[in-house]
Amino acid sequence: MEEQNHTPDNPYTAIEGYGVYDAHGEEIGEVETTVYDAPSDVLKYLSVNGRVVPADRMEVDAESGRVTVPYDGEKVTSAPEMQEPSGEFDEAVREHYGNP
């Protein structure tokens, strides 16, 4: 008997592989993974070069395969490395990006 996968589908995997651009229009990497919170139906984070970027204020251009984030490249490259989401991790990300 085949085992069913009960993990909810992440509707945001379609943007994995998109180029990521900073607030100045400079390419800073690509979307490696997306972290989706199924219970709240919210995309929480992107992973860009192993670093976490909050997804709440990003802009997606599906036609060009491009994601723009409202941070400069330096802020992203110095961000915490992607980890399993937790309250402590969420707080560290908010503190790094200056989000309340």
Question: In 19-62, at which residue ranges do the beta strands (DSSP E only) sit?
Answer: 19-21, 27-37, 42-48, 51-54, 59-61
The identity of residue 69, as a single letter, is V
Domain boundaries, the chain: 13-97
What pLDDT does 5 receive?
34
pTM of the prediction?
A: 0.84
CATH of 13-97 given 3.10.129.10, 3.90.50.10, 3.90.1150.10, 3.30.200.20: 3.90.50.10
CB 13 within 8 Å of CB 24: no
What pLDDT does 38 receive?
83
Q: Which residues contact 64 (CB under 8 A, 6 or more apart)?
A: none
Mean pLDDT, 10 residues at a time, over the chain (100 residues)?
46 94 96 90 92 94 96 96 89 88
What pLDDT does 9 receive?
76
